[in-house]
Structure 1
Amino acid sequence: MAQDLIRVLLFLHLSFLCSASAAVGDPTPAPWPHQFHAVLFMNYSGALSLIDLWYDWPGGRNFNIMRDQLDGPPFYDLEWNNGTSFLYTLDTPRSCRSVQVGVGILRPNWLDGATYLGQQTVDGFLCNVWTKVDFIWYYEDVVTKRPVHWVFYTGRAAHVMIYEEGAVLEDAKWQAPVYCFQKGKEESQEHQQINYNAVHQIVDQKMSLGVLHGL
């Protein structure tokens, strides 16, 4: 009887040590570099777009230059760490909306605390995979530690085509156009509707990103 009890206790102890060792051995995602440029191929339920992403943590700013497939000029989403975003076009008819979403840009270590899910091959790269609060699934190349792919809970998927660590966009490009600060400018009804749809989608995403800030 005593020997059986010892065997059970020994088995439980070894099981605990093995599980603890596995947990300690799980890889962790690399923090984002403080400045980088990426080109993202986006797929959302078959709707395709390209995003030029410029991330600048020291400057407290993030820039998404978005172009939908076969859909004219790009749309600009300029984010600041105080929660202000400017959403605008540069082509005629010009338009700009500013929104306060109460959420700044993502911290470089925003993936801290993510749950490791194992390895998976995506876009030809063997990746470590994590999820964060069931909001995003993040795929990182096992060898280079570069991000390869991520998927939001909505199904919106990003495939990283270009990744340039340390790349910096010149300061002049970060300035929102002057008409973003002018009140009372009338826009065409058609262009207002285009902007309304784009702004609605982007603001919803920004508010949802609050979960990654622990808000």
Structure 2
Amino acid sequence: MSPPPPSLVVLPLLLLLLFAAVSPAAANATATAAAGAGASPPVPTPWPEQFHALMFTNLTASGGRLELIDLYYDWPGGRNLNLIRDQLSGDPLYDVEWTNGTSYFFDSGSCHSTLFPVGLLPPDWLAAGAVYLGREHVDGFDCHLWTKVDFVWYYEEVATGRPVRWNFFNGMQQHVMSFEVGGVLEDSMWQAPAYCFNGGNADTANVAADRSGSVDVMNSLTRFAGAPAAAAAASFDQ
């Protein structure tokens, strides 16, 4: 059996670090920030239940590449899809995530699957435990800025409530190039190919696994950061 990608090996350690950071201190910090400002801080705008966003992702600070990601979020359908194109790469990687925590990563000839107990982020995932840091001009927009457990920094345009950018603790940056509320993808595009299920892709699974490594860590940690405490704790009982 081939060893798992290095990024998947470190995932439990990263989760432990994040779990240690999720504590009453986060709630206290939120209350302190509000008291210091003399008024209640702005509340993050919940995500629309369905949207399509084009993301420019910069992974170079953490040793990765540049990527373009078409993100389709479908909360009523219990699914989320990232269509990932690496710089100068002709074969896109599909990352299809389901509400039961199952994710399929596949390209034209290989497939890799993972299971993360937390499932999809709800539309209001950022609200609980987020600390408001004020307003900042970023990517040419006047933005509200929140952080959550010093793991993700989330920028939202003041005028429209649209997400503009989010940064991760490891230096990864995601810039929202377009944001289409109600944007949906036809059902056939969500279906993982047959070779994800027939057991015959053992020789090629590592191709998708290698490409999905950074995406898997990013998405799993983002899900974890947005999960209720009970669900987060339950993930360590699996």
Q: Say if 1:23 and 1:65 are closer, same or farther in 2 by CA, change over 3 A.
A: farther
| One of 176, 181, 195 as aligned partner of 1:165 | 181
- Please state which structure has a larger fraction of its residues in strand: 1
Say which one has the larger Rg: 1
Residues 141-180 of structure 1, C-alpha deviations (whole Å, 9 max, x = no match): 0101100000011111010001000111111211111111
Which residue pairs with 2:131 in the alignment? Answer: 115
Q: Determine the structure 2 residue equivalent to 1:211.
A: 225
Q: What is the RMSD computed on CA atoms of the aligned residues?
A: 1.8
**In structure 2, do the counterparts of structure 1 residues 20 and 99 end up closer, same or farther at CA, with 3 Å as the change threshold?**
closer
Aligned equivalent of 1:105, options 120, 125, 137: 120
In structure 2, do the counterparts of structure 1 residues 23 and 88 end up closer, same or farther at CA, with 3 Å as the change threshold? farther
User: Which of 183, 198, 213 matches 1:200?
Assistant: 213
1:72 to partner: Cα distance:
2.3
Is 1:28–2:43 an aligned residue pair? Answer: yes
Counterpart position of 1:6:
none
TM normalised by structure 1 equals 0.83
Q: Cα–Cα, structure 1 residues 186 and 20, in superposed 2: closer, same or farther, change >3 Å?
A: closer
The SS at the match of 1:24 is coil
How far apart are residue 207 of structure 1 and its match? 3.3
State the TM-score, normalized to the length of structure 2: 0.75
Q: How does 1:24-103 map to 2 (within 5 A)?
A: 24-45=39-60, 47-90=65-108, 94-103=109-118
Distance 1:200 1:213, change over 3 A: same
1:96 CA drift (Å):
0.9
Partner of residue 16, structure 2: none
Structure 1 segments unaligned to the other structure (5+ residues): 1-18
1:120-159 paired onto structure 2 within 5 Å: 120-159=136-175
Query: SS state of the match for residue 169, structure 1?
Result: coil
Give, as a single letter, the amino acid of the residue that structure 1 aligns with 2:201: K
